[in-house]
């Protein structure tokens, strides 16, 4: 249950009242036991950690009158098993977002750091596991929104816009003009190189049982993803589908860029691997959620085709799971996923070998 703090307006001596500001605190705690069959040498196959993105959200709204509101959001992300920020302390404290802006008849304009226009709506709309558990497969393999630790799906120093809904259709855009130095100058005559701007566009149609999305995004290294996704609620089952194409930037555009952001599409069993320079990866996903009272059965299958190039991901993944609601805010879950990783650097021979990863989790989650 969300905890809402109401800051009551002070009334001036003249009788005029100031606008009312509302602060909402919400979040998710999700901890489970996980077992992964294929891990780095010396690493433990079993662990206790987060299944979903554990977070505390602070949302502020102020009614400015005339249909306009001021808005601010800050979302902390952390690992409940250790108390550290995500990635063993490697990600920012406010990994989720830090944005402020205005909303009105023109839509919503925000400034700061957060999920891009493409990434914000696609998680729960394209993946039956909703970006959580070992079976999740929402992100297209090989695309990193930002090549910085904690940059997956997010961009900083950015402008975000979401349009009003037109009979179920909304349009989103995000743009970061900030360029980032990727290498210091080695001599007075050799300037530092810079990675470029980031742009993202997305159109989402949601009306009744049908949701359809189409988006495109280009990161600072000129990698580009184009994705179409949809889901349809039949009542007896909710069906999901997604298709994405990732194209790598040129070698010149990649010059001296460090690939420190892990690819979220392949969360277990391997090292960081993005799309190769001038390379291409195609990804598609299908899935379903079948509700049976408090119990839901979830399943999904994903495939990535990197055309066999060394260092590219040629993977497929099958995930199955169950979710049982103990209340409106608390549920338990268990999932198993089988993934075959071809032509990946984690294998003995990256050019030819396969690596099969089997993952299992059992956890409990609470939303407040």
Q: Look at residue 268 in the predicted model and tell me its pLDDT.
A: 32
User: What's the rounded Cα separation, in Å, for the pair 223 and 147?
Assistant: 11
What's the pLDDT band for 271 if we cut at 50, 70, 90? Answer: very low
Please say if the pLDDT value at position 167 is more than 80: yes
Structure tokens at 295: 């119990």
For the residues 17-24, what does the mean pLDDT come to? 75
Between the alpha carbon of residue 181 and those of residues 110, 128, 143, 218, 298, the distances in Å are 25, 38, 20, 18, 43
Low-confidence winner among 75-79, 235-239, 312-316, 361-365 (lowest mean pLDDT): 312-316
Which of 119, 77, 138, 362 has the alpha carbon at shortest distance from 266? Answer: 138
Two tokens, residue 38: 């294929």
Query: Reduced to 3 states, what is the DSSP secondary structure of residue 149?
Result: coil
Please answer whether residues 97 and 114 qualify as being in contact, where contact means their C-beta atoms are separated by less than 8 angstroms: yes
Range of the domain at 306: 3-367
Q: Give all strands (DSSP E) within the chain, no chain letters.
A: 3-7, 21-36, 46-50, 55-65, 68-77, 97-104, 107-115, 154-162, 169-176, 180-183, 193-195, 198-207, 210-218, 224-233, 238-247, 280-292, 295-305, 314-325, 330-342, 354-367
Question: What is the per-residue pLDDT for 13?
Answer: 36
pLDDT in tens, 44-56: 889 998 887 899 9
Q: Quote the distance between the C-alpha of residue 222 and its chain's center.
A: 19
pLDDT at 136: 84
Residue 256 banded pLDDT, cuts 50, 70, 90 = low
- Given a cut of 90, whether residue 168 has pLDDT beyond it is yes
| Number of structural domains the chain divides into | 1
β-partners of residue 287 are: 240, 300
pLDDT at 231: 96
**Residue 161 banded pLDDT, cuts 50, 70, 90:** very high
What digits encode the pLDDT tens for the residues 294-325? 999 999 998 888 755 554 557 788 999 999 99
Residue 96 sits at the vertex; the CA angle it makes with 110 and 160, to the nearest 5 degrees, is 20
Q: Which among 122, 136, 355, 89 has a CA at the least distance from the CA of 266?
A: 136
The pLDDT-based confidence of 182 (bands split at 50, 70, 90) is: low
d(CA 250, CA 253) in angstroms, rounded, equals 5
Whether the Cβ atoms of residue 141 and residue 246 lie closer than 8 Å to each other = yes
Place of tokens 């391997």: 270
As a whole number of Å, the end-to-end CA separation of the chain is 4
Q: What percent of the chain has pLDDT over 70?
A: 76
What local confidence, expressed as pLDDT, does residue 274 receive?
67
Least confident of 6-20, 308-322, 326-340: 6-20
pLDDT tens digit string along 128-158? Answer: 998 788 888 755 667 778 766 556 688 889 9
Q: What is the CATH number of the domain that holds 362?
A: 2.40.160.10
Q: Tell me which residue of 229, 108, 97 sits closest to 165, measured CA to CA.
A: 108
Of 192 and 350, which is predicted with more confidence?
192
268 burial class (0-12, 13-18, 19+ CB within 10 angstroms)? middle
- Is residue 127 a contact partner of residue 265, using CB atoms and an 8 Å limit? no
Are residues 275 and 145 in contact, defined by beta-carbon separation less than 8 angstroms? no
pTM value? 0.84
Q: In 10 A of CB 317, how many CB atoms?
A: 26
Residues, the chain, total? 368
Query: Using 50, 70 and 90 to split pLDDT, how confident is the model at 223?
Result: confident
Lowest mean pLDDT among 14-23, 202-211, 286-295: 14-23
């Amino acid at each position: 249950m969300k905890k809402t703090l109401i800051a009551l307006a002070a009334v001036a001596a003249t009788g005029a009242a100031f606008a009312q500001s509302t602060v909402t605190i919400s979040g998710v705690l999700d901890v489970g036991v996980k077992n992964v069959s294929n891990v780095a040498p010396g690493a433990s196959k079993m662990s206790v950690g987060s299944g979903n993105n554990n977070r505390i959200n602070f949302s502020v709204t102020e009614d400015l009158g005339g249909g306009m509101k001021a808005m601010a959001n800050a979302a902390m992300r952390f690992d409940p098993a250790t108390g550290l920020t995500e990635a063993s302390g490697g990600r920012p404290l406010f990994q989720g977002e830090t944005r402020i802006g205005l909303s009105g008849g023109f839509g919503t304009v925000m400034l700061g750091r957060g999920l891009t226009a493409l990434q914000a709506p696609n998680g729960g709309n394209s993946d039956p596991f909703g970006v959580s558990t070992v079976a999740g497969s929402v992100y297209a393999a090989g695309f990193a929104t930002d090549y910085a630790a904690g940059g997956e799906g997010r961009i900083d120093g950015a402008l975000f816009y979401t349009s009003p809904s037109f009979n179920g259709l909304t349009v989103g855009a995000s743009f970061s003009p900030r360029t980032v130095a990727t290498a210091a100058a080695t001599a007075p005559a050799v300037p530092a190189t810079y990675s470029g701007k980031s742009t993202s566009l997305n159109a989402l149609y949601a009306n009744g049982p049908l949701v359809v999305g189409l988006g495109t995004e280009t990161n600072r290294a000129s990698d580009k993803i184009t994705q179409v996704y949809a889901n349809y609620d039949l009542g007896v089952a909710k069906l999901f589908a997604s298709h994405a194409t990732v194209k790598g930037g040129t070698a010149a555009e990649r010059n001296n860029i460090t690939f420190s952001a892990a690819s979220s599409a392949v969360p277990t069993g391997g090292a960081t691997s993005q799309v190769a320079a001038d390379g291409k990866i195609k990804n598609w996903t299908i899935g379903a959620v079948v509700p049976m009272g408090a119990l839901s059965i979830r399943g999904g299958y994903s495939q990535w085709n990197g055309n066999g190039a060394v260092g590219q991901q040629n993977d497929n993944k099958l995930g199955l799971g169950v979710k049982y609601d103990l209340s409106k805010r608390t549920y338990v879950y268990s999932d198993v996923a089988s993934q075959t990783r071809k032509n990946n650097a984690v294998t003995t021979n990256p050019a030819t070998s396969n690596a099969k990863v089997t993952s299992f989790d059992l956890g409990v989650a609470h939303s407040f």
